[in-house]
């Protein structure tokens, strides 16, 4: 709260059986027509909301059947975050088509339970999405295995009676004019201050385990900025966590907070006519200006390589991630589309615009390799030390150096 030409392994064999690899002969054409019209049942996994009557997935299934009347659907509730675990338990009994968050991609590929996209579907994904989201469904082998239908990141909500559209481009300007809330102790949010070149995770594409996790020699300046400009600045800063930022927006004690699309309805209710959202601002340290950047990823549609109907499963997966499907998901469920061409159709919703702009301009791909599991605990510990005042302007350099050593182990 998203026409197959090449298949992996068994998929190729099935494609050949169905006559897709043959050309010209009437016998093969007849076999292809028979295969195309043979009854096919696809099991589809998704959340309960996505699969309710009149909801996104069932509406798209009905659209798909218009061109593929031989297909019927069986829906089951498996939430996207649970997909990899459920598929790995028994890949052969799992759904033909399922939704998953991209950080599960490595596990799904390793389990041999997710199908490589066709040339046509790969082209579709590259035309629809920003580079960050294309990379989000690209495995370590360089191949694409999912069709993104929505992005996953965080951005900024703000009270537009306190800040202008120009003010929110600079965190420093915001700290002069109003009160900003940020969850420094949260390991998903804190890196936002370092990811503009001062923290690199597993190489350029985030999938090179040997490249490791590193901080730049200017990272200490960033730590000092957080410790001196935010922590202890009671007049202009509130430490978020446990809903403090949202509560502050509602009672007027906070003018801006950082969160994602899941909080859009609550923020809108809190700010009423002053509701606004934007991509992330910049901030200045001794060495110059830095751009805040959030981790970004996607929720995507995949097909199971163990399906009995690989051609149709792959075709429906691409359709469920198509522009038309994403438009339906936004209208029915409020899912912010990843498709760039839908930007104009969602411009009335500030959170949608902010998410799309953040992914395009102020985000980096969250690494999805297993080694990323070693990142979260030390970052949370470091953020907690900053937020509680144990790290100060005076010891920021030494503490950041220790933090860097911990990441590099």
Beta carbons within 10 angstroms of residue 185's beta carbon: 20
pLDDT of residue 34: 45
Q: Write out the chain in H/E/C secondary structure.
A: CCCCCCCCCHHHHHHHHCCCCCCCCHHHHHHHHHHHHCCEEEEEEECCCCCCCCCHHHHHHHHHHHHCCCEEEEEEECCHHHHHHHHHHCHHHCCCEEEEEHHHHHHHHHCCCCCCCCHHHHHHHHHHCCHHHHHHCECCCCCECCEEEEEECCEEEEECCCCCCCHHHEHHHHHHHCCEEECCCCCCCHHHHCCCCCEEECCCCCCCHHHCEEECCCHHHHHHHHHHHHCCCCCCEEECCCCHHHHHHHHCCCCEEEECHHHHHHHHHHHHHHEEEECCCEEEECCEEEECCEEEEEEEEEECCCCCCHHHHHHHHHHHCCHHHHHHHHHHHCCCECCHHHCHHHCCCHHHHHHHHHHHHCEEECCCCHHHHHCHHHHHHHHHHHHCCCCCCCCHHHHHHHHHHHHHC
pLDDT of residue 369: 87
pLDDT of residue 209: 92
pLDDT of residue 29: 53
pLDDT of residue 348: 94
Which residues are CB-contacts of 210 (< 8 A; sequence separation ≥ 6)? Answer: none
C-alpha atoms less than 13 angstroms from C-alpha of 117 in its C-beta half-sphere = 27
pLDDT of residue 36: 61
Q: Give me the residues of the chain with pLDDT under 50, please.
A: 1-27, 30-34
pLDDT in tens, 359-368: 999 999 999 8
In sequence order, what are the beta bridge partners of 258?
Answer: 156
- Chain Cα centroid distance, residue 262: 12
C-alpha atoms less than 13 angstroms from C-alpha of 169 in its C-beta half-sphere = 5
d(CA 397, CA 74): 57
228-236 own/partner pairs: CB under 8 Å, 24+ apart: 228/392, 228/393, 229/172, 229/175, 229/283, 230/175, 230/180, 230/182, 230/184, 231/184, 231/386, 231/387, 231/389, 232/389, 233/175, 235/179, 236/175, 236/176, 236/178, 236/179, 236/180
d(CA 156, CA 17): 52
d(CA 340, CA 352): 11
């Amino acid at each position: 709260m998203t026409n197959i030409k090449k298949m992996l392994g068994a998929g190729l064999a099935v494609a050949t059986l169905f006559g897709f690899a043959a050309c010209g002969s009437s016998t093969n054409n007849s076999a292809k027509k028979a295969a195309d019209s043979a009854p096919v049942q696809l099991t589809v996994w998704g959340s309960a909301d996505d699969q309710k009557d009149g909801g996104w997935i069932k509406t798209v299934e009905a659209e798909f059947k218009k061109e593929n009347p031989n297909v019927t659907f069986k829906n089951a509730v498996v939430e996207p975050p649970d997909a990899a675990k459920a598929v790995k338990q028994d890949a052969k009994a799992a759904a033909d088509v399922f939704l998953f968050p991209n950080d599960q991609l490595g596990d799904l590929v390793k389990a041999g339970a997710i199908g490589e996209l066709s040339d046509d579907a790969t082209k579709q994904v590259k035309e629809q999405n920003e580079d960050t989201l294309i990379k989000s469904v690209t495995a370590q082998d360089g191949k694409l295995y999912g069709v993104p239908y929505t992005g996953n990141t965080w951005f900024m909500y703000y009270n537009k009676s306190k800040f202008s559209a120009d003010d929110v481009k600079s965190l420093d300007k915001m700290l002069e004019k109003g009160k900003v809330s940020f969850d420094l102790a949260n390991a998903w949010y804190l890196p936002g201050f370092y990811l503009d070149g001062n923290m690199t995770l597993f190489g350029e594409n985030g999938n090179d385990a040997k490249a490791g996790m590193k901080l730049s020699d200017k990272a200490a300046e960033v730590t000092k900025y957080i410790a001196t400009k935010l922590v202890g600045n009671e007049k202009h800063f509130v430490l978020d966590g446990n809903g403090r930022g949202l509560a502050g927006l509602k009672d007027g004690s906070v003018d801006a907070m950082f969160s994602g699309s899941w909080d859009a309805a609550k923020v809108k209710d809190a700010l009423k006519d002053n509701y606004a959202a934007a991509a992330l601002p910049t901030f200045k340290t001794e060495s110059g200006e830095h751009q805040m950047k959030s981790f970004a990823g996607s929720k995507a549609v995949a097909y199971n390589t163990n399906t009995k109907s690989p051609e149709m499963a792959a075709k429906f997966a691409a359709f469920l991630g198509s522009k038309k499907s994403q438009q339906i998901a936004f209208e029915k469920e409020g899912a912010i589309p990843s498709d760039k061409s839908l930007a104009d159709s969602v411009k009335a919703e500030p959170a949608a615009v902010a998410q799309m702009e953040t992914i395009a301009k102020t985000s980096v791909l969250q690494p999805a390799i297993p080694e990323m599991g070693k990142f979260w605990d030390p970052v949370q510990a470091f953020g907690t030390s900053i937020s509680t005042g144990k790290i100060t302007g005076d010891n920021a350099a030494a503490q950041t150096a220790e933090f860097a050593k911990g990441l590099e182990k």
